[in-house]
Amino acid sequence: MDTRESKTPEEELQHLKEVRQPEDFEHPEPDEGQPEARQSPQGLHWILLISALLAGAILLFTLVWP
């Protein structure tokens, strides 16, 4: 069952105009102003690398050890 509201041709045209407008770089997205959005992940890539190496070592140990 289709529950979407049908748009008039004028509404469709207005929607297309809004979608096709270029991005406004003078006024960034609201989350750009939040401090956590500006922070780099700092040590998260090291944690991922270490956990992947540890998982690989455990897998290798369980497959090789008799």
Question: Does 53 have pLDDT greater than 60?
Answer: yes
CA dist., res. 16 & res. 29, Å (int)? 20
- Would you say residue 2 has pLDDT above 70? no
Give me the mean pLDDT over the 50-58 stretch.
Answer: 96
Mean pLDDT of the chain: 78
